[in-house]
Amino acid sequence: MAALMDTRLLLRKIKDLRCLTPRRNRVKAKWAGSLPKHPASSLALQNFDATYGHQLGEQRWPSVRVSLLSERKYGALLNGFSADEAVVGELEAQGCRDFIVNTDHQDGGAKSEGRTEEEYTDVSQELPPPRLSPNIKCLVFPRADITRFKPTRPDVYGLRSYYLMDAASILPCLALDVQEGHCVLDLCAAPGGKTLALLQTPEIRFLCVNDMSVSRTSRLKKVIDSYIPKELKGRLRVTSEDGTKWGEIEKDVFDRVLVDVPCTTDRHSVLEDDNNIFNRSRTKERRMLPQLQMELLLAGIEAARPGGEIVYSTCTLSQLQNQYVVEQAIHLARENLGIHLQVLDLRPLTRLFSNTFTFAPDLALGEMVLPHLTANFGPIYMCKLRKMV
């Protein structure tokens, strides 16, 4: 009986509180009828189950799936221009390590010379370990450690000490192999993490960063202002042009070109409904992605000088947006533009970082970081091409 009385008193208090709540702030269940019946994130997961389940197989997809739905790991890209000298010690005291510097370079050897478009599956001879810029530093927590990084703080000059990003996103910048005096193009640069990584390389003579979205370019400029001193902006140009037209703007100019294209952004697509490309209103845009990606890659190929190198990258597992885009671009560059390309083997790079990331085995073209619960980075796909003289 006492329990019954307590329940009645509780219900009465709830009713009294409801009466005190302004009518405009009361939530009725029927209002939720306007919510989408099939959220974009749910549609994305259904699509991935059908496509990636077949692509990755029954043994690998369930593990990747649960990793995509789990909290991702980040890396702290150190800003070499910041005056905060204590930040490295603070991060290392928390258990972080620089996955680039603290790597055994002796394990970086891999087989296969740079491969032509007809022979990119042929493995023939030893490749030397990749050259890595000593100025690009990225700290990560150990495998299976999901500790979050604290927000970075500005130094006495207003520059932030590190930039939080998916550590696997550094790999395309390392694969680009920027050398002294190089002129570099970052064709789809926003939000700016890869741009910051490239700017850490003092050998860069000039860096052009572009994004066709005006709003994303504004965000990119804010990132640059927060990390790069004013005196270094003389070797930097920020533009907001249609990247697919870059071959008409600057042809045969750049020593290195990074083409990090818009894609389905798999991890965002399964976790967020806002700005999700699987929203029904964006169906046409999503279906046109491979065409856009191919046009951007072809523009990047045209922008590279003869002998220059191009890295194509995405953050999706999709073969249609990865391997097939590269294959089609190689074919069209040869047939329509008279440009022959060499596919360069990235396995020396992936073997170097196999203790930090989980890489997809036996890809026919390029390399890919697979999300894994103990190392929940990615997905990141990358393929490197050389424009033949």
The 3-class secondary structure across 53-109, one letter per residue, is: HHHHHHHHHHHHHHHHCCCCCCEEEECCCCCCCCHHHHHHHCCCEECCCCCCHHHHC
- State yes or no: pLDDT of 112 exceeds 50: no
The per-residue pLDDT for 105 is 44
- Rounded CA-CA distance 145/130 in Å is 28
Any idea which residues carry the catalytic annotation?
A: 315
CA separation, residue 170 to residues 17, 85, 139, 157, 177 (Å): 53, 22, 11, 26, 12
- Preceding omega of 191 cis (within 30 degrees of 0): yes
Per-residue model confidence as pLDDT tens digits over 154-195:
999 999 999 999 999 999 999 999 998 999 999 999 999 999
Whether the pLDDT of residue 110 is over 50: the answer is no
pLDDT confidence of residue 36? 65
Q: Which residue matches tokens 């000039």?
A: 206
- What is the pLDDT, as a whole number, of residue 319? 97
Residue 379 has pLDDT above 90, yes or no: yes
What percent of the chain clears pLDDT 70, i.e. is strictly above it? 84
pLDDT for residue 1? 53
Over 50: is that where the pLDDT of 20 sits? no
Q: In terms of residues, how long is the chain?
A: 389
Q: How far apart, in whole angstroms, are the C-alpha atoms of residue 216 and residue 238?
A: 12
pLDDT at 196: 96
Residue 121 CB partners (closer than 8 Å, separation 6+): 115, 364
Confidence of residue 153 (pLDDT cuts 50, 70, 90): confident
Q: Percentage of the chain surpassing pLDDT 90? A: 76
Specify the higher pLDDT residue, 63 or 1: 63
Helix or strand run (H / E) with residue 367: strand 367-369
pLDDT at 142: 95
Query: Which comes out higher in pLDDT, residue 126 or 375?
Result: 375
Tokens of 275: 């700005």
pLDDT score of 209 more than 80: yes
114-138 pLDDT tens trace = 444 444 444 434 677 788 888 899 9
Residue 277 predicted with pLDDT over 70: yes
Torsion sign (Cα): 55, 57, 62, 67: negative
| Residues 216-258 pLDDT 10s | 999 999 999 999 999 888 899 999 999 999 999 999 999 999 9
pLDDT at 35: 57
**CATH number 3.20.20.70 is the correct assignment for the domain at 74-387:** no
- Average pLDDT, whole number, for the chain? 87
Q: Is 294 left (phi over 0), alpha (psi -120 to 50) or beta?
A: alpha
